[in-house]
């Protein structure tokens, strides 16, 4: 009987040990509202508690205030920091200022706060084109400052916007970075990311791509199965079932043209607005927003990746945790209203593995009982 129990134990181990996967980390972005006139300001501790209660494993802090960084100490939530665009030229021109920024935003909190990545600037090419030439030097100075502080596990990168660096998304196999930005700005940054084992960061919104092209069906943008909800890349023979994967692969192809196809990709912002700037944005609705988010989370958790990147993107950050106070002229993207109540009927967390996870728990429990009975006989 002991031999039977031994073999059953081996079987149990083989069943209970999960396969090695590269599951995408799914986080959210948060930026402090400039002011909220109808309610009290949200404290950093309340924001951190909300993220933990929603079982969100990662957060991107667009403001990176020290009080907010401190609030995530001992939470095990991965924190993605951002350096504001106006600081980029200063950090590039003065190494001591880069060190000072690290002293203020990293050293007092790390590793109690699980800081994993720093983005030097956000979509600088679009919002501050005159700052773009300073990006690489600023990134280098922040990286060297971290090394001087003997901090080696925080990667340094910068964030680009898909629409401003990838002019043509289809077919993905033919995509290239916009010139001259690609050759002058992006290529040396890709080389830096390769040397420092960092990731390429991209803001990627299927909603914007859908609005820019009448030929894209709404179902293709919302991950819906349907007879017309696909696009074929005739060069590679790949069929795309959703717009998100198509855009990710366009980024990967653009990196491949420059010889860096294996760099990890992090989607620093994505989402679907629940309301638009004006009445013309008829597809910016709560219904479509919920459909997109539910389908996106399910797609990322499936582990299927994209046609050109089987392991998928490393991390995806949903824009955003809390929407700004409702007013005319802005899009609303938040998972939560500004009073911290939920906008949607679904849960952001997967509840611990879904049906497959619960089935595995039952199966493992059954094998444990069988093994114990065999050992007692």
Is 111 contained in some domain? yes
Residue 367 has pLDDT above 60, yes or no: no
Is 38 contained in some domain? yes
Nearest by Cα to 268 from 318, 224, 226: 318
Question: Could you give the number of structural domains in the chain?
Answer: 1
* pLDDT computed for residue 328 by the predictor: 57
pLDDT tens by residue, 172-205: 999 999 999 999 999 999 999 999 999 999 999 9
Residue 334 has pLDDT above 80, yes or no: yes
354-376 vs 2-16: helix crossing angle, rounded to 10: 170
Report, as an integer, the average pLDDT of 24-51: 81
Is 15 contained in some domain? no
Is 1 contained in some domain? no
* pLDDT computed for residue 331 by the predictor: 85
* pLDDT computed for residue 374 by the predictor: 53
Long-range contacts of 89-97 (CB under 8 A, 24+ apart): 89/131, 89/134, 89/138, 91/120, 91/134, 91/138, 91/141, 91/142, 92/134, 92/135, 92/137, 92/138, 92/141, 93/134, 93/137, 94/141, 95/141, 95/144, 95/145
Q: Which domain holds residue 241?
A: 22-376
pLDDT tens by residue, 341-363: 999 988 887 644 433 343 344 44
Place of tokens 């993905």: 172
32-36, 48-52, 318-322: which range is least confident on average? Answer: 32-36
Is 311 contained in some domain? yes
Compute the distance between CA of residue 53 and CA of residue 58 in angstroms, rounded to an integer: 12
pLDDT tens by residue, 261-319: 999 999 999 999 998 888 788 899 999 999 999 999 999 998 889 999 999 999 999 99
pLDDT tens by residue, 72-118: 999 999 999 999 999 999 999 999 999 999 999 999 999 999 999 99
Whether 61 contacts 82, CB under 8 Å: yes
Is 170 contained in some domain? yes
Is 11 contained in some domain? no
* pLDDT computed for residue 236 by the predictor: 87
Q: Report the chain's terminal Cα–Cα distance, integer Å.
A: 7
* pLDDT computed for residue 366 by the predictor: 46
Whether 274 contacts 333, CB under 8 Å: yes
At 77, list the tokens: 């939530």
H or E stretch at 324 = none
The pLDDT-based confidence of 256 (bands split at 50, 70, 90) is very high
* pLDDT computed for residue 242 by the predictor: 95
Three-class SS of 158-177: EEEEHHHHCCCCCCHHHCCC
* pLDDT computed for residue 228 by the predictor: 76
pLDDT tens by residue, 2-37: 554 455 444 444 444 444 444 789 999 998 876 544
Is 63 contained in some domain? yes
* pLDDT computed for residue 155 by the predictor: 97
Whether 316 contacts 270, CB under 8 Å: yes
CATH number at residue 54: 3.20.20.80
* pLDDT computed for residue 277 by the predictor: 85
Compute the distance between CA of residue 343 and CA of residue 239 in angstroms, rounded to an integer: 34
Whether 98 contacts 138, CB under 8 Å: yes
């Amino acid at each position: 009987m002991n031999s039977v129990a031994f073999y059953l134990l081996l079987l149990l181990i083989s069943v209970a040990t999960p396969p090695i996967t590269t599951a995408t980390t799914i986080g959210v972005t948060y930026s402090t509202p400039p002011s909220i006139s109808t309610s009290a300001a949200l404290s950093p501790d309340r924001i951190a508690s909300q993220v933990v209660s929603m079982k969100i494993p990662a957060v991107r802090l667009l403001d990176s205030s020290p009080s907010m960084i401190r609030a995530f100490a001992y939470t095990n939530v991965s924190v993605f920091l951002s350096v504001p665009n106006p600081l980029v030229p200063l950090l590039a021109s003065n190494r001591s200022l880069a060190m000072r920024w690290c002293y203020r935003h990293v050293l007092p909190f790390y590793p109690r706060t699980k800081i994993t990545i720093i983005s030097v600037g956000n979509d600088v090419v679009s919002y501050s084109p005159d700052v773009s030439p300073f990006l690489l030097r600023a990134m280098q100075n922040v990286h060297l400052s971290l090394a001087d502080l003997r901090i080696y596990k925080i990667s340094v990168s910068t964030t680009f916007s898909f629409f401003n660096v990838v002019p043509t998304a289809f077919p993905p196999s033919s995509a290239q970075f916009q010139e001259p930005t690609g050759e002058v700005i992006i290529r040396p940054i890709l080389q830096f990311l390769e040397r420092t084992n960092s990731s390429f960061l991209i803001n990627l919104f299927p909603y914007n791509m859908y609005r820019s092209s009448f030929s894209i069906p709404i179902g293709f943008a919302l991950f819906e199965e349907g007879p017309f909800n696909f696009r074929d890349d005739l060069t590679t023979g790949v069929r795309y079932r959703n717009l998100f994967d198509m855009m990710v692969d366009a980024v990967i192809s653009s990196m491949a043209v420059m010889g860096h196809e294996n760099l990890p990709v992090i989607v620093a912002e994505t989402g679907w607005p629940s309301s638009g700037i004006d009445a013309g944005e008829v597809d910016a609705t709560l219904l479509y927003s919920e459909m997109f988010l539910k389908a996106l989370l399910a797609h990322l958790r499936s582990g299927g990746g994209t046609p050109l990147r089987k392991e998928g993107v490393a991390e995806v950050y949903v824009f955003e945790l809390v929407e700004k106070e409702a007013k005319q002229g802005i899009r609303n993207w938040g998972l939560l209203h500004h009073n911290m109540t939920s906008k949607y009927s679904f849960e952001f967390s997967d509840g611990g593995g879904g049906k497959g996870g619960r089935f595995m728990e039952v199966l493992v429990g059954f094998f444990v009982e069988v093994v114990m009975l065999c050992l007692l006989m």
